[in-house]
C-alpha cells in the first residue's frame, strides 16, 4: 500500500501533552512524508502557512474552519467575516470583549470568521450569532463565530481536486467538533484521546494516546 495523504488538525492534534505548542517530534515524520500533507485548522491563514513553511512541506492549507483554502497555487476564500464582525461589534456593545487584548493577533489576519477567547461568556455570543444566522463552535481552544456551512471538509476537497489526490485515500487526525467534516470527508479518521465528544462520535477510531503522541502513533501505523 502506498503512503496515504494526511489531513492534520493543529491544536489538540500536533500539540504537546499539555495542549500548547507544537510537539517538535512531528516535524521530521511530516517533512519526510511521501504524500501530500494538508494542515486543516481553525486558526487564521498565516499560522498554518507558517507551520508548513517551517516543517518544510508544500503549503496545503485549510484555515479558519474552511473559510480560507490554499491549494499551493491559489487562495480560495469561501466565506466572509462581515456578519461575524457585526456580531462581534454587538457583543462588545453589550459589554463583553473578544478576550485577546488590544492587539488581538488571533483576529488580526482573520478574513472569514471571528474568534473569541473561551474565557468570555458563551451564551450571549451564541444568541447574537444565531440572530444573524451564524453559529458559534467551541474547539476547546476558541469560540468561532462563522457561517453554518463553512467547514474544513469542503476545504479539503478543494485541495484534493486541485492537487490530484483522492479523499478516500486520505488519513485524517483531529480532536474537536471542527474536525467532524474532515472525518466525514476522508477514507480513514482518527480522534486523539483528548478529543471532544463530537469528534469521537464520528472518527473511525479513537486513539488511546493524546495530542502528538496519538498523531505519531497513527503516522507509524499508516506509513
Ligand atoms: O483555532 C482553533 O480554535 C483550533 O485550531 P485547530 O482547528 O487547529 O484545532
Ligand atoms: Mg484541534
Which atom from ligand 1 is nearest to the alpha carbon of 43? Answer: 1
User: Which among 146, 171, 198 is the end of a domain?
Assistant: 146
Q: Is residue 207 part of a domain?
A: yes
Q: Is residue 56 part of a domain?
A: yes
Q: Are 4 and 68 in contact (CB under 8 A)?
A: no
Q: Is residue 91 part of a domain?
A: yes
Say if residue 171 is in the same domain as residue 65.
Answer: yes
Domain that holds residue 105: 82-146
- The answer to the question of whether 138 is labelled as a binding residue is no
* Average pLDDT by stretches of 10, the chain with 223 residues: 94 96 98 98 98 98 98 96 98 98 97 98 98 98 98 98 98 98 98 98 98 98 95
Ligand 1 within 6 A of CB of 10? yes
Say if residue 87 is in the same domain as residue 191.
Answer: no
Dist CA 107 CA 138 (whole Å): 16
Say if residue 106 is in the same domain as residue 170.
Answer: no
Q: Is residue 1 part of a domain?
A: no
Residue 152: name the closest of 65, 48, 52 by CA: 65
- The answer to the question of whether 179 is labelled as a binding residue is yes
Say if residue 124 is in the same domain as residue 161.
Answer: no
**Angle between helices 122-131 and 82-93 in degrees, nearest 10:** 130
Mutate-to-test residue for ligand 1 from 43, 63, 66, 194, highest number of ligand atoms within 8 A of CB? 43
Q: Are 59 and 163 in contact (CB under 8 A)?
A: no
Say if residue 34 is in the same domain as residue 139.
Answer: no
Say if residue 63 is in the same domain as residue 29.
Answer: yes
pLDDT at 1: 66
Ligand 1 within 6 A of CB of 4? no
Does the pTM exceed 0.95? Answer: yes
- The answer to the question of whether 23 is labelled as a binding residue is no
Could you confirm whether 9 is annotated as catalytic?
yes
Instruction: Kindly report the CATH number assigned to the domain that includes residue 139.
Output: 3.90.1070
pLDDT at 135: 98
User: Which among 101, 129, 146 is the end of a domain?
Assistant: 146
Ligand 1 within 6 A of CB of 43? yes
How many angstroms from the chain centroid is the CA of residue 209? 20
Domain count along the chain: 2
DSSP of 58-104, one letter per residue? ---EEEGGGTEEE-SS-EEE---SHHHHHHHHHHHHTT---SSTTT-
Say if residue 142 is in the same domain as residue 46.
Answer: no
Amino acid at each position: 500500500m502506498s503512503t496515504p495523504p494526511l489531513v492534520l488538525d493543529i491544536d489538540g492534534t500536533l500539540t504537546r501533552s499539555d495542549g500548547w505548542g507544537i510537539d517538535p517530534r512531528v516535524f521530521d515524520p511530516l517533512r519526510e512524508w511521501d504524500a501530500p500533507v494538508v494542515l486543516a485548522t481553525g486558526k487564521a491563514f498565516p499560522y498554518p502557512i507558517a507551520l508548513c513553511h517551517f516543517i518544510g512541506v508544500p503549503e496545503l492549507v485549510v484555515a479558519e474552519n474552511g473559510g480560507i483554502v490554499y491549494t499551493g497555487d491559489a487562495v480560495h476564500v469561501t466565506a466572509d467575516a462581515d456578519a461575524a464582525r457585526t456580531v462581534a461589534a454587538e457583543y462588545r456593545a453589550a459589554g463583553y470583549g473578544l478576550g485577546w487584548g488590544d492587539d488581538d493577533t488571533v483576529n488580526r489576519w482573520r478574513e472569514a470568521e471571528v474568534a473569541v477567547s473561551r474565557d468570555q461568556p458563551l451564551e450571549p455570543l451564541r444568541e447574537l450569532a444565531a440572530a444573524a444566522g451564524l453559529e458559534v463552535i467551541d474547539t476547546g481552544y476558541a469560540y468561532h463565530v462563522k457561517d453554518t456551512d463553512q467547514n474544513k471538509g469542503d476545504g479539503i476537497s478543494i485541495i484534493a481536486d486541485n492537487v490530484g489526490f483522492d479523499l478516500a485515500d486520505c488519513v485524517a487526525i483531529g480532536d474537536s467538533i471542527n474536525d467532524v467534516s474532515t472525518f466525514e470527508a476522508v477514507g480513514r479518521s482518527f480522534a486523539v484521546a483528548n478529543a471532544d465528544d463530537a469528534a469521537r462520535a464520528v472518527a473511525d477510531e479513537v486513539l488511546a494516546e493524546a495530542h502528538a503522541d496519538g498523531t505519531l502513533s497513527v503516522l507509524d501505523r499508516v506509513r
